[in-house]
Amino acid sequence: MGVTKTEAYTAPQLELADLCKALAHPARVAILEHLLTQDCCICQDLTDVIDLSQPTLSRHLQVLRDAGLILGTTEGTSRSYCIHPAHWRRVQGMLNGFFDRFQDGCC
């Protein structure tokens, strides 16, 4: 029904799934890649870099913010976005913890 039975899963399972959901769109990957190329948290006009309307980009940024992957600080009339350092490393650790559980193949 397009609805996920969240109550049946553990908190870590839900957290990992939610994080991956935030990364599960090429526009959001592109936004993060763009932020990664910036030395610092420059709020570039993403509409020049990614072919989407301003409101659509704003929504994607919100998803990334909700997932904790980026930080947005108001700076006058514009907004400065950057990778959320602590959370970024935490997420990487979480993913590695998940993938490291696989030791040896059988097949």
Partner DNA sequence: TAGTAATATAGCAATATTGCTATTAACTGC
Partner DNA sequence: GCAGTTAATAGCAATATTGCTATATTACTA
Contact positions vs a second copy (CB under 8 A): 4-6, 8-10, 13-14, 16-18, 20-21, 23-30, 32-33, 36, 39-41, 50-52, 71, 73, 82-83, 85, 88-89, 91-92, 95-96, 98-102, 104-107
71, β-bridge pairs: 82
**What is the amino acid identity at position 14?**
L
Binding of residue 76 to DNA (CB under 7 A): yes
Given candidates 13, 37, 38, 78, which one binds DNA under the rule CB under 7 A?
Answer: 78
Specify the residue, 63 or 91, whose C-beta has the smaller distance to DNA: 63
CB count within 10 Å of CB 46 equals 19
CA distance 14 to 84: 20
Among 75, 74, 83, 77, smallest CA distance to 31 is for 83
Q: Closest separation between CB of residue 82 and DNA, Å?
A: 13
